[in-house]
Structure formats: structure tokens, C-alpha cells
Structure 1
Amino acid sequence: MPELPTYTTASSTLPRATRVGQLFMPAAYIHDSEEEIESLESLVRNRQVGGLCFFHSRASVATNFGKPRGTVSQADSLSRLKDLITRYQEAAEIPLLIAVDAEWGLGMRVEDAPSYPYALSLGALPGPFPELLYQLGLRMAQDCREAGVHWNLAPVVDINTNPANPVIGYRAFGCDARAVITRALPLLEGFRDGGVLSCLKHFPGHGDTAVDSHLDLPVLEKGIASLWQEELLPFREAIRAGAPAVMTGHLSLPHLDPSGLPASLSAPIIGLLRNDLGFDGVIITDAMNMKALGRVEQNPVNLNLMAFEAGNDLLCFASQVPESIERILERADPEQIEASFKRIWALKERLFLEARPPETPSWTPRSLNLEFGLNCLCEIGLNPGVLKRFRTEGFSLLYVGERPTPFIEGLKRAMDFEQQPWGAGNEPEGDPALPAGSNILLTIQPPSMKPSGNFGLSPNLGAAIDALAQKKNVFLYLFGNPYLLRDLPLDRLRGAICTHQPLKEFMEIAASHFLGQTSVQGRLPISLEPR
């Protein structure tokens, strides 16, 4: 990897076109064709872009736009990521900033890398737990560093006040500003001490929306007073704590900018971040290929110029980079170019010139996940003695959606029971498919964490469970998004456990809970008021 000169040297010696190139962070793909890899190497070599943002594959990105293309799990993703980072750094004259969306660890993009609890799972912690969250930040930072990643584009500090939010949801710490703040700040500290950059997203707050900005332009009808009471609070506190970067969201706030432009293209909204919140770090856009921006302008070159002139420093997932560099050179204010270049260079100096060694985490990935499992899993309406009765009298297990293998294996080591899927696919069936016993241990592992399409489950699921619970004693384990609970007849059940996600260690804790070997401490981070 090339050496980084100081800002003073770089500013006086680098051509202006090179300094503009530093404003761009195009996408890179772990699984891509050799032709595409060589094309990106050429762009890095000839245009000196500031960094790269890695994604799993072009197929995985397509799923964000409602176009599933059969993403295939790859056993060698982590080694490929490391190799590609080495190749791209060797092609660069100036060290690249390598970024990844690793909100719950590199496993978010790299399937053979460690994964940790989703933000919403952390929102279920019964207290602040700053040291444990700090250790999680250190752990994720070390995983990133060992892969060659400098920048974790996390945490999400949106407050998910809209249960129907199709794009934030489980990526947020919850629906309460204080919960978001108390989870985000220790993570930020852990990232920093672990030697990795962080990024607050999605300014000024994407939680109270019902539209996915990958697909269309969300509109948030809130004024500045309301924003200061809720959405802006986590940003304010995290900026005061020294967050190095903020990502602007592709959502319109007409009370702040009557033009209707999304925040990522709005000088007044970005001015709020710079002037009212006093942020002087790097402002990076959300992905510039998202359809919310297509509602404003179809030409990527024009969009890149608009985003830069609005006040963003770094353009993420930018396309048509050579043409956009020329357009910014022709049209943009030279003083603004130099100010953005200086901010980006300060991040690189922090990474490549500072000698401070990173802190080492005290926890392994597995030990962290087990500890979070004990503290994040939630009991809901648990009738006293019901699980002991199930263990004594026997039960049959029905599973809806995916088979929760680690949970079932944990139970099988201690007792025998019948198990079967409930119905064909994700459509529950009635009495003919049910076992004869009176006790039913029901598990639900939805195919999707997102609420659209009822999390990939049958829309009749609630009614089917209601009918089942009128005939049987039903206890539920939900290995998925707790927002699904809002549509289930919880008052008909003998109790429920929510793990928030199908993490292996969380399932193991759930099994030990059913067996009476441990207790769980979490508190639901959402309201269960029905839709």
C-alpha cells in the first residue's frame, strides 16, 4: 500500500483533478468478474478515487431494489475480500479508504465472517450495558481491520418510530431516542479505540418513514421543532462524542426545504448539520444509485454535482466517475473542493499516519453473542410453570418458516419429541396436520427480517395460530423481527420468547431457557400495540 503524505504536502503537490477524485467512493464487489475487477483497478489507478465501498455481489445489491437475482452464498467471501483489497490498494497511488456496511459485523456483507446482534436486538438490553457494547465495538473493529477494512458505515442512529418502516426497522436500536443514544455511544467509542472509523446514518432521521428510499423518495412531514425533540437527538449526542462522519439520507423534508429535494441533495438540510449541530467531519451520501434520487434527476453526473454542491464531501456508490470529476472541476467552487478534500484527508491521516495502537477486545465473537443472548431475549406473557409442565407432560414442536436447527438440536440433547413443519411452505394448515398431544411448542423463523410481505410468511398466520391456540396449549419462540408479534394473538398463548433474530447463539440460549437451565433478561424495544 502506498504511503500517505501529510495534508500540507498533498494540498500543494497533488493536481486539482486528483483532489477531486478523492471525493468519490464507487462500489466494489467481493464476487465480481475479472473484467469488472480490472475495470475498477483502472479507475483507481487513473482517477485516484478516495475509497471503495464493498458489497457482496451485484446480485445482492439488486435485491435491495426488489429484483432478486439468486444471490448464492460463497464460502470464500472473506478471503476474496482480503485479496481484492490488496489488489485495489496496489493499484492506488494514494491509500484508499475501504468501507463496508457492517452494522452487525462483517457478516452483514461477508457470509463467512462473524455476525453479531442486530441493532434492534441490542435495543432489548435491560439497561445501558456500556462496557459490553464497547467490547462489541472493539470486536467488530478488529474483524474489520484484519480484513483490511478501515470504515464501518455504522451505527444507524435513526429512531424507528414507524412500525411499517420497510428499510430501517431491525437496523435501528428501537423507537426511543434515549435507547438509541445509550446503545450508539459505546459502540462509537469501541470502533474508535479499535482503530476503525464509524458513520452516523441516515441524517436527519429515516425512522418515521413508510417508503424504502432504494425504491422511491420518502417524505417526512415534520418541522424543525419536532425533529429536535426526536430525530436529531442521537445525531447531536454522537457528534458531541466525536463521531467522524455522518451519512445523509435520501428522504425529503419539505418543512426544512420546500423544494422537496432529498436531504442528500439539500443545502438547507446539510446546513442544519454543519451549522446547528456544529459538525465539521466528513459528510458522505447514502448510495447514489438509489431510486429516491432518480425521482429528482436521472443523469448520474448531474446528481453527483448536485450532491457535492449541496454540501456532501464524499459520494458513495457513485457512477460515471471520470465524467463527474470533470463536471465538478468545471462547475464547483474551488474553496468547497479544497474544504472537502481536507476533511477526507484528515480521515486518512487519522488512519494511516497516527501511531496509536488499537485496543484488543476481551471477548470472542461467540462469547459476546452468548452474553447478548442472555440479556437480549425477551419473555412475553409467560404463565408460571408452563414450560416445566411442557417438559414433564411432553410436547410436539411445530415450526413455521425456516427450521430452527440450533434450537431443536439443543432440545434433542435433553429430551425426545415430535417435530414437523406446520403446513406446506409458509402457509399453516389446520387440524389434519397437527399432532395428537395437547402441548405445542411453536417456533417461527420468518424468511425475511423486513415487514413487507408479512416477513415472507402467510398473511393468515395470526388467524391460524389463534385457531390452534383454541385447541392446544401453545408456547411460542419467535426467531425473528419482534414487529411480527403485533399481528399474533399473544393473549391466546401460554407465553412467548422473542430472540429478535435467528443468530445461532441466540437459539442456543433459547433452548437452555426452555430446558429451565437459564433465564433471560431482555425487554422488548418496541410497542406491541396492534396495527
Structure 2
Amino acid sequence: MCKVPAYEEVKIQFTNREKAAQLFMPAAFINDSESEVRALESLIQTHQVGGLCFFHSRASAATNFEGQREIPYNENSLERLKQLISRYQKSARHPLLIAIDAEWGLAMRVEHGSRYPFAITLGALKPASEPLLYEMGLSMARDCRDIGIHLNLTPVVDVNTNIDNPVIGFRAFGSIPEDVGRKAATLHKGLAEGGILSCAKHFPGHGDTDMDSHLNLPVLQKNLSQLKGEELIPFRELIKAGVPVVMTGHLSLPHLDPTGLPASLSEPIIALLRNMGFEGTVITDAMNMHALLGFETRAERLNLRALQAGNDLLCYADRIPESIDLILKEVSESRLEESFQRVWRLKEEAFRKHGTSLQPKNSINSLNRELARNCICEVNMAKGLLSQFRRDGFSILSVGTAPELFINSVRTTLDFDHYPCPSGLDIQNQIPTKTRNILLTLNPPSMKPRDLFGLPESLVAQLVALSSDRQVLLYLFGNPYLIPKLPLNHFKGIVCAFQDLPAFQEMAGAHFTGGLKATGILPVKLQYGT
């Protein structure tokens, strides 16, 4: 493990150019070509940037978030990531701070990486079960630490109150500010005690928006009083818990900054964060996202404006040599020193944490099973419905990808016919009219709300018709924000299993067959449709 000299030592030895370079965290891509890897090595060697933020590939990162470029598949990407981290560290004169955006585990960026439940799933944990989030933090920390990562850009502490939010949604713990803050703080504690830095994002709150900042500029029309009553509550909780990094979001809040600048470029909005007592490092969201294009197209000018607004660390920054030149011309020595000190002390903490970490008690599989056991929840379930289905018989109708583990789990004790309907079209003709009890499994193609989560528009009308003279019990292996778009009052009950991870399918099967009581709570406030 590299040793990071104390700030008091390097502040005298470093030139202002070296200090400015430490404020940059360019993107690194696991699936880059050799020539692209060498180009980044050259940047590191020549300009001594402060860190790297890893992404899977150029096709899957930031501005191609909803793009059409083909994403490469790399069977060995986890080992490749580990090798690249080692290689880039050897290229650096000063130890690099290595970051990754792995909100639900390394699987978010790496094939065959560790995968944990989405935040919206974890939002279903009752307070008594929330210590599992601490265990998850320890486990995620181990995954990152073992391959040389210091900073995981999680947790998301946005309060997702907009049902059609295209970019937060399932990444948030829910729509209740206090719950979001408490759960995020517990996860942060696990990451911290596991030896990894965490990051609260996206300040001052991206949950009540209807645009994706990767593609456009969201605008949040809330005043400070409204923000204090909702969006800022989780950030206060994380600041109190000692979170070392806060990420500014690319969203405009005209009531806080009438110029319309996004929070990431807004001096008064970042000043609000400091006034809330945050003394750590402020990092930008990716600086190449399209939300910023309307304010500045020249990357070096954009980087300068982000630093002048109060950010300390510039993530996914481009044109770094030119940006350093501009910063040295336009930024005072005292302001430069202020951010350099925060970034360097963050490095000191990161490398110190790696040597004082706690190990998780459970394997990933056993942890996910416990999480699933405590997250699955019932919504408007008719009394005695499960036992009635088991007693009188039923058929399973699967819309979307069939949850095979769930189906096989049920089949171990009960007989039934299974009718798969991957497209979700013409579902009534998929199942005999004589079938009175239907267990409907719904596994939407997407966790994002666009186009009914990837389901056909006709599905709602089809479900109304299907349930007109039958009893329909829904097991949802998807985003609970789909629920208010469904004809809830036509179902006899809904079981929210949230996602199709193996552990969740198995526990959902145990629930239906009577071996598990659903104890989770729906983590979002919903207005149910008819």
C-alpha cells in the first residue's frame, strides 16, 4: 500500500501547478484499448492528476447514458480493473485517489462483480432490520478495498418524490426524507468502518425532478424552506454522520440562484452546503454531462467555473492541461490551497482507512438472502388469499422474463400450469378461461419509468380485463414506482419483491408457499390508481 505524506509536508514541497493538478479526477475506462491506456498513463505522469474515476467503457459512461453505442462485454473485466489500478498507480508520482460509482456493488460497472440490492429495495427495510445496511457497507467496502478502490460514489441521498424521475428512481432509498437519511447514514458507517470513503449525492437533491441531467438540465422550483423540509434532511444526516465527500448535482434551483446555474456551478448553492456544516471535499458530478452544455462548451472554462463556485474535486474532467493553465491565471493562491488541502487530506484518510478496516461477517450470498427476507412486502393483500390459492389451485402467468427460481421454488410443493408471456401482449389469450386464480409475475424490462418501464402501453387495460372475472395476485419483481400505474384495485393483492436477484426470487417463493412472512414496508408514498 502506498504511503501518502502529510499535508503539512507536501504543501511546502508542491508547486501551485502540482496543487491544481491534484483537483482533477479524469475518467478511466476498464475496457480501453492499449493506446488509450497509454494516453492516460502519459497524462498521469506528465500532469500528476489527483485521482481517477473508473467506468466500464466509453460506450456506457455518462453522456451515452441513454445512447445506442454497443457496450462491450468483458468476461475478465474485474481482473482487468485490478490490473489497471495497479498500472496507473505505478505511473503516478503521487498516490492516486481511485473512485468508482458502484451504488449497488461492483456489478454496476464490472461483469461478474459483486451485486447487492438497489437502494429502492433496501428502502423497504424496517428500522429494526437496518443493521443489515451496515453489514452491506462492510461487504461493499471489502469488494472495493481488495482491488485498490478508495472511494465509492454512494450513497444516493436524493428523496425521490417524482414518480416519473428518469435518473434517480430506483437509485434512491425512497420518498420519505428521514428514512432516506437514516438508511444512507447506516450504509455510510459500514463503508467507513470497512475502510472505504463514501459520497452523499446529488446536492441539494435530485429526487423531485423529471429530467435526466446526463441529457438535459433539470429545474427544481423549490425555495430554501421547502428544501429544508425535504431534500436537505438526508444531507444533514450524512454530514452529522461524518460523510467525507458530497457530490454537487447538475440541476438548476432558481429560488437559490436566480442566474439559473446548476448547483455544480453555483456559488450560493455550494455555500449553502458549507453553511450546513460540511467541511469535507465537494466533488462534481461528471463534468461532461449534457446538463452543463448550455452554460459553457469549452471544458477548461467549465472546469474553472466549477472550481470558482466552490467544488474541490472535478470528476470526469476533460482538457486538464489547459484547465490547469487557466486555473493558475484565474484562481487565487489561497483559494487553490483551500481545495488542495481538502483533497490531500481526503487522500490521507483514504490510504489510512485501507489499513484499519473491519471485515464483514457474512458472505455476499447469505447477506443478500437476509436482505431479501426482510425487504419483501405486501400491498393491499386480501386476508387469507395465499392459503386460498394454495388450497384451490392456480396458474402462473409471467409477463416479462419469467422468474425461474421463484417458479421452481413454488413447484417444489405445489402443482400448477405456467404460461409465459414475455412481450406482455395479448395476455388473456395466453391462459385458459377456466382458470380462476392467477398468480401473475411481472418482471419489467427496465427499472426506469420511461415507456411504462419497458412494458406495452396496452398492459393496464389487459390487466383490467383479465381481472374482471378472475382473482389475480401480483408478484412484482421490479420497481415499485410501477405500482400506481397499474390497476391496483383490480388485484386481490400485490407482493413487492423489487427485483429478480436469486435471493429475492427464492424468498418470494418461500413467501407464497407459506414459509416466509413479508415484513418489509413499501418505501415510497403512492397514490394508487383504479
What band does the TM-score fall into relative to the shorter chain? over 0.9
Larger CA deviation: 103-112 vs 19-28: 103-112
Change in CA separation of 1:427 and 1:232 when aligned onto 2, cut-off 3 Å: same
User: 2:31 touches 2:77 (CA, 8 Å); kept in 1?
Assistant: yes
Runs of 4+ in 1 over 4 A off after TM superposition: 353-356
Q: Distance in 2 between matches of 1:192 and 1:451?
A: 33
- Measured after TM superposition, the shift of residue 432 of structure 1 is 2.8
1:357 to 2:356 alignment? yes
Q: Distance in 1 between matches of 2:292 and 2:131?
A: 40
| 1:498 match | 496
| 1:308 match | 307
SS at match of 1:59: coil
User: 1:2 touches 1:90 (CA, 8 Å); kept in 2?
Assistant: no
SS at match of 2:165: coil
User: 2:488 touches 2:528 (CA, 8 Å); kept in 1?
Assistant: no
Q: Distance in 1 between matches of 2:354 and 2:74?
A: 36
- Measured after TM superposition, the shift of residue 75 of structure 1 is 2.4
- The one-letter code matched in structure 2 to 1:380 is V
Larger CA deviation: 296-305 vs 10-19: 10-19
- The one-letter code matched in structure 2 to 1:504 is P
Structure 1 vs Structure 2 CA RMSD: 1.7
Larger CA deviation: 427-436 vs 146-155: 427-436
Q: Distance in 1 between matches of 2:304 and 2:343?
A: 17
Q: Distance in 2 between matches of 1:433 and 1:131?
A: 44
| 1:199 match | 199
- Measured after TM superposition, the shift of residue 191 of structure 1 is 1.1
SS at match of 1:421: strand
Larger CA deviation: 518-527 vs 61-70: 61-70
- Measured after TM superposition, the shift of residue 64 of structure 1 is 4.8
| 1:341 match | 340
SS at match of 1:453: helix
- The one-letter code matched in structure 1 to 2:325 is E
SS at match of 2:59: helix
Percent identity between the two aligned chains = 52
- Measured after TM superposition, the shift of residue 244 of structure 1 is 0.4
1:478 to 2:448 alignment? no
Change in CA separation of 1:73 and 1:490 when aligned onto 2, cut-off 3 Å: farther
Structure 1 regions of 5+ residues with no counterpart? Answer: none
Larger CA deviation: 117-126 vs 303-312: 117-126
| 1:132 match | 132
- Measured after TM superposition, the shift of residue 63 of structure 1 is 7.5
Larger CA deviation: 317-326 vs 430-439: 430-439
Deviations 1:499-528 (A, max 9, x none): 122222111100111111111101111122
SS at match of 1:527: coil
| 1:86 match | 86
Q: Distance in 2 between matches of 1:364 and 1:354?
A: 22
User: 1:304 touches 1:318 (CA, 8 Å); kept in 2?
Assistant: yes
| 2:322 match | 323
Deviations 1:60-95 (A, max 9, x none): 226854212232443222111111111111111111
Deviations 1:324-370 (A, max 9, x none): 11111121111111111111110111122468521111121111111
- The one-letter code matched in structure 2 to 1:426 is S
Larger CA deviation: 373-382 vs 480-489: 373-382
Q: Distance in 1 between matches of 2:63 and 2:446?
A: 12
Q: Distance in 2 between matches of 1:10 and 1:257?
A: 36
User: 2:2 touches 2:351 (CA, 8 Å); kept in 1?
Assistant: no
SS at match of 1:239: helix
- Measured after TM superposition, the shift of residue 146 of structure 1 is 0.9
Larger CA deviation: 232-241 vs 475-484: 232-241
SS at match of 2:60: helix
1:428 to 2:425 alignment? yes
Q: Number of aligned pairs?
A: 528
SS at match of 2:146: helix
TM-score when normalising by structure 2 = 0.96
Larger CA deviation: 124-133 vs 206-215: 124-133
Q: Distance in 2 between matches of 1:420 and 1:79?
A: 41
User: 1:126 touches 1:522 (CA, 8 Å); kept in 2?
Assistant: yes
Larger CA deviation: 385-394 vs 18-27: 385-394
Larger CA deviation: 213-222 vs 383-392: 383-392
